[in-house]
Structure 1
């Protein structure tokens, strides 16, 4: 597996991977009408904005195998004074699930967070109904520490859980 930092030219690629991932992982969570249509334009606008005008501390890593994109993660270093670095997105294409890609991307993000924001944690938000992802994070030492109802891009407000690693180094083992 090869990893590279995203550039603004990667916005369509990242948006397409995000759409493919959400259509599978969130089919039972998000509005089906949104997933069937409006998602493409919304995700492209989101990733174009994020790549052209990155937030402070933002890094987007693309994973490729044999030159083919397989997934990505977007991390915001030091995003929160209490919780540390935010894993804002972590997505593996359906063909890459079960290959260790998610674990590798999470480890890359953790390593970067440790280097740039030592002595802080790592966290992410996960839809409460995304049981597969919650199990994935728990098996990697993530602890569910908080609940929140979040307005989503599909217009719904959905319950989420904050998942936290007080010591991101656990993800490097």
Structure 2
């Protein structure tokens, strides 16, 4: 598996993986009509915007093998004064789950944060019904901080969105891993 910074050539692969991930993970959470018909266009439009006009603090890494994208992570550095860098997306294809790709993508973002920002904390949001993702983040030391209501795309009902954080001193961050070695 190779890991590299995403570029415009990755648009289709990222959007497809993102749409498929939502279809697999959010069935019963997002409206079926949205997942069956609109999710591809919605995700493609989002990624056209992110890849063609990135925010200055945006960082996207893809995991590839033979030019196929098996995972990606998108983060916004120092997005919050309180929590640090926001991990907006972390998705790994169903076929590649359980192979350490998601964990490696998180480590690579943490390494970028460690080199680029004074505030070393990381945070992300997980839907309450996405129990598998919650377990994954807990295993890596994230802690649930708060729960808020979120309006998903597709005009469905609001859902609980859980904020998970790794504080500045958490062992996931490279400067803390090196200090313990």
Cα deviation for residue 8 of structure 1 reads: 2.0
Question: Following TM superposition, by how much is the alpha carbon of 1:169 offset from its aligned partner in structure 2, in angstroms?
Answer: 5.3
Alpha-carbon distance between aligned partners in 2 of 1:2 and 1:113, rounded to the nearest angstrom? 20
Tell me the equivalent position of 2:79: 79
Distance 1:125 1:168 in 2: 20
1:166 match? 167
Residues 110 and 168 of structure 1 are in contact (CA less than 8 Å); yes or no, is this contact kept in structure 2? no
Contact 2:85 2:122 (8 Å CA) reproduced? yes
- Aligned-residue offset at 1:168: 6.7
Q: Choose 153-162 or 78-87, whichever is displaced more.
A: 153-162
Equivalent in the alignment of 1:136: 136
Residue aligning to 1:49: 49
Gaps of 5+ in 2: none
Q: Give, in whole Å, the separation in 1 of the partners of 2:88 and 2:34.
A: 20
CA distance in 2, matches of 1:14, 1:109: 17
CA–CA distance in 2 between the matches of 1:54 and 1:115? 20
Equivalenced residues, count: 173
CA shift, 1:56, in A, is 2.3
- Whole-angstrom distance in 1 between the partners of 2:103 and 2:47: 23
- Which deviations, in whole Å up to 9, do the C-alpha atoms of 1:33-55 show, x marking residues without a partner? 11111001110000001111112
- Separation in 2, partners of 1:67, 1:164: 32
162-171 vs 121-130, greater mean Cα deviation: 162-171
Q: Which has the greater radius of gyration?
A: 2
Name the SS of the counterpart of 1:88 in structure 2.
strand
Whole-angstrom CA distance in 2 between matches of 1:12 and 1:153: 20
Q: In the aligned structure 1, how far is the partner of 2:41 from the partner of 2:141?
A: 35
Structure 2 counterpart of 1:105: 105
Which residue of structure 2 aligns with residue 117 of structure 1? 117
Q: How far off its partner does 1:118 sit?
A: 3.0
3-state DSSP class of the match of 1:155? coil
